Amino acid sequence: MILDDLLADGAPPIAAILRGVKPEEALDIAAALVEAGIRVIEVPFNSPEPLVSIAAMQQAFGDRALIGGGTVLTVEAVEALAGAGGRIMVTPNTVPDVIARGAELGLELLPGFMTPSEAFRAVEAGARRVKLFPAAQLGPAYVKAVKDVLPKHVGVWAVGGTGADTIGDWLAGGCEGIGVGGALYRPGDDALTVRERAVDLVAAWQRAKG
């Protein structure tokens, strides 16, 4: 499963960031997200036992959702992610060796950038999508300016301060999608709470796209 196919099938361009999720709750939280329509799920590597959660979610939902890891900082972490069955690799920064290794292993890549120079380094290393982080501090107008110089095939996602109240602004500014963390899940949230937030977020996307 690749992100292009999910988006072509009408899945919302939303990545759920489950920072701090524990393995014993991962399946319930993932189920709530998938039921609400969100089909891209990221477990950051600074969560408790992230590879355990990723492997379990991949086994349970890998035929319906793109499961992977975030805050991937090293080549070793990339290899561990692939070994756990993860399919998408998200980073907060631009490290060409990390991006290139993810590409070699066939992972979907979403490396983080802040400056145009970082975005171009990510593309040169093999990324077809990049993640503006932290996004809220820069705004949709910044995305538009960066997209003016990036290759046309490169998709830009916004992460950091994003949610149901801003998804329309980011899409209007030229983003392909957004990643949402605390507005969807915070450590200790139960599956029902996450599902309600996810339903609201997907509804906001539907309104934004008309």
Q: Which residues are catalytic, by number?
A: 42, 131
Whole-angstrom distance, CA of residue 123 vs CA of residue 195? 34
Whole-angstrom distance, CA of residue 115 vs CA of residue 92? 13
Cα Rg of the chain (Å, integer) = 16
Q: What H or E segment, with its residue span, contains residue 39?
A: none
Closest CA to 41 of 108, 100, 106: 108
DSSP one-letter string for 53-121: HHHHHHHHHTTTSEEEEES--SHHHHHHHHHTT--EEE-SS--HHHHHHHHHTT-EEE-EESSHHHHHH
Question: In this structure, how many other beta carbons lie within 10 angstroms of the beta carbon of residue 83?
Answer: 12
